[in-house]
Structure 1
Amino acid sequence: MANQMTATVEGKELILERVFKAPSKLVFQAFSDAEHLKRWWGPRGWDLTVCTVDFRPGGVWHYCMKCMDPNQGDFFGMESWGKAIYEDMVEAKKIVYVDYFSDAEGSTVEGMPSSHITMTFIEQDGATKLISRARYESEEALRKVIEMGMEQGVTETWDRLAEHLASQQ
C-alpha cells in the first residue's frame, strides 16, 4: 500500500501515523460510528461480532473481535474483547479515550495493559493524516503489547480501514 503506517516508540508512548485518502470527517466517522467500525475494525480474518458505541465523553465502546479465518490455525474461533471509555472528542479533529482489554461483560482484564489514546485527524488536501498517540503506564506495558503483535494487528486494521474508506467515496 502506498500509505504505510509508521510506528515510533518514545519512552512509554507508541505513536502511529498514516495518511488516508479520505476527508477527515469520514475518517472520524469510521472511528466513532458502530456501523462503520463493524466493517473494518480488526486484523485480516477477524470480524467484529459485537460492537456497541456510546460516543460521548464518559461513554463506552465495547466490542468483540472473533477470528473467522480457519487458515489462522490456533487463532480460529478465538475471541478478543475490548473496551474504550471516551474522554473527549472534537468532530473531525480528535478522539481521546482509555483503551482496555475486557471480557464479554465489559470488565477490564487484570494484568493486561491499558493505554490512554489521543487520535488526531489532520486534513491535508482532501486526505487525512491520522496520528494515534498511545501512552502506557510503563515501558514494560508497552513492550508487552508490542510483543503480542499489536503493531501488525494495527497495520492490518488500518489497511482494512483504507479499503473501507475507498468504498465509501
Structure 2
Amino acid sequence: MPLIAQENQIIESRVLRAPREIVFRMFTEAEHVSHWWGPRGFRTHTTLMEVRPGGLWTHTMIGPDGTEYPNEVRYEIVDAPEKLVYEHINDPLFRATITFTEKGAQETEILFVMDFLDVRLRNAVAERGAVEGLQDTLARFEEVLSTYTGEEFVLIRELNAPRELVYRSWTEPDRLEKWFGPAGTKLIVKRADIREGGHFVYGMQLPDGNTMWGRWTFRDLTPFSRIVLVTSFVDENEQPIAPPMVKDFPVEMLST
C-alpha cells in the first residue's frame, strides 16, 4: 500500500529500472547528482559532499533565470544501499528519509519522505513548489538512470613502452595534449586536478572549429598501475550536458 503522508510531510515514490546499488551510488556521488538534482530547468553545483554520518552536502541550485539557492545538508544515517537520512539545516528546515527497496534484480523503489516541524512550514514550502519540485527531481533521476545499461566494452592494446611512461601519458596534461583524441582534433586543457576525487576538464577542438567539452572525475589513481575515472559531458562553463552526439549515448562512462 502507498504510504499516506502526514500533515507535516511531503512524500514521493518511484520505481526505477536499475539495480539498487547503482541507484544508491548515483544518489550519493556528486558527479552523478549534478546531472539530475533539482526541478527541470535547474542546475546544481556541489562544493562538498561527505556521504557519512555527520558529513555535509553543500550545494547550490541555480534556477533558469540564474537565481542561486544555497543548500546545506547534514547526513544522519548512511546505510548503503538501503537508506539515507539527512537534515536540511538552512531554510527551509526539514528532515529527509530516503529508502531504496529492491523490486527485483533490475528494479528499485525509491521512497522520499520530507518531514517538517509543523504543517504551517510544510504548506509554506508546498506553496513555493516543493511538491512539484520533488516530482520533477525524481523524474529527471529516472531519465538519467534510463541510460544505464551495465554493459562493458573492453579494449586491450600492448604498447612498446615502460609502464611508468604509459601512466604518465594518461595523467600529465602536457603529454595528453600530444596524443589524446581522434586524428585531426586538438586537445584543450582547461583544468587539471589530477588526484583521487579531482577533475580533468578538457575541450576537443574539431577540424571545423567547434569544440566539445568533457570532464574526467578520478576515482582511483594507483601510480603506474591503475586509473579509474568517470567521463561525462559538460559545457565550457563545466556544467553537465546531455551527450551531443548519438541520442542514446551514455551520460556517464566508468573507465578502468
The amino acid of 1:9's aligned partner reads A
Question: The residue matched to 1:167 in structure 2 has which SS?
Answer: coil
Note if 1:16 corresponds to 2:12.
yes
The amino acid of 1:98's aligned partner reads E
Contact 2:17 2:107 in 1 (8 A): yes
Give the length in aligned residue pairs: 147
Cα pair distance change 1:38/1:7, threshold 3 Å: farther
In structure 2, the partner of 1:77 is: 66
Question: Could you tell me how far 1:147 is from its partner in structure 2?
Answer: 0.5
Aligned pair partner of 2:103 in 124, 127, 131:
124
Note if 1:114 corresponds to 2:93.
yes
The amino acid of 2:54's aligned partner reads G
Report the Cα distance in structure 1 between the residues aligned to 2:46 and 2:77, rounded to whole angstroms.
Answer: 23
Cα deviation digits, residues 30-85 of structure 1 (max 9, x gap): 21110111111111111113342011100000101112x4xxxxxx0111111110
In structure 2, the partner of 1:58 is: 54
Contact 1:113 1:137 in 2 (8 A): no
Question: The residue matched to 2:54 in structure 1 has which SS?
Answer: coil
Contact 1:7 1:17 in 2 (8 A): no
Question: Could you tell me how far 1:140 is from its partner in structure 2?
Answer: 0.5
Cα pair distance change 1:30/1:130, threshold 3 Å: same
In structure 1, the partner of 2:138 is: 158
Question: The residue matched to 1:95 in structure 2 has which SS?
Answer: strand
Contact 1:51 1:62 in 2 (8 A): yes
In structure 1, the partner of 2:148 is: 168
Structure 1 vs Structure 2 CA RMSD: 1.7
Aligned pair partner of 1:33 in 11, 29, 34:
29
Report the Cα distance in structure 2 between the residues aligned to 1:85 and 1:34, rounded to whole angstroms.
Answer: 15
Percent identity, aligned pairs only?
30
Contact 2:13 2:110 in 1 (8 A): yes
Contact 1:16 1:131 in 2 (8 A): yes
How does the TM-score come out when normalised to structure 1? 0.81
Cα deviation digits, residues 87-142 of structure 1 (max 9, x gap): 01111100011013xxxxxxx3xxx3311111110000121111112111001011
* Structure 2, unpaired ranges of 5+: 150-256
- Tell me which structure has the larger Cα radius of gyration: 2
